[in-house]
Amino acid sequence: MLTKWVLDAGISKKITFHCFRHTFATLQLSMGTDIYTVSKMLGHKDLNTTQIYAKIIDETKRTAANRIKLEM
C-alpha cells in the first residue's frame, strides 16, 4: 500500500515505512498536535520515544528564528 502511495505521488526516492512514520509524526507535531496524542497514534509505550520528533521540531524552530538578524 505504501509503495502505491509513493508511486501515485510521483516520488522516485525509496520511502520505507519508518520514513513514513517519521514524517507523519513530525508533521503532526509541527501542525500543533500534542505530543501525547502523537505518541498514542504511533503506538509508543514510552513518551520519551516520541520526544525524538519533538526535538526535531524544536531545532527547526530555533533555526528559523536565527535567520532573523536584529540590530540592537
Grid cell 510521483 is found at 10
Side-chain-side CA neighbours of residue 65 (13 Å): 6
* Predicted pLDDT of residue 69: 81
What is residue 36's predicted lDDT score, i.e. its pLDDT?
A: 94
pTM above 0.85, yes or no: no
Reading the chain (72 residues) residue by residue, the pLDDT tens digits are 888 888 899 988 888 888 888 889 999 998 889 999 999 999 999 999 999 888 888 888 888 888 888 776
pLDDT of residue 62: 83
What's the pLDDT at 28? Answer: 93
Contact 14, 3 (CB under 8 A): no
Q: What are phi and psi of 31, to 5 degrees?
A: -90, 0
Nearest to 53 by CA among 30, 15, 33, 26: 26
Give dist(CA 42, CA 60) in Å, integer.
21
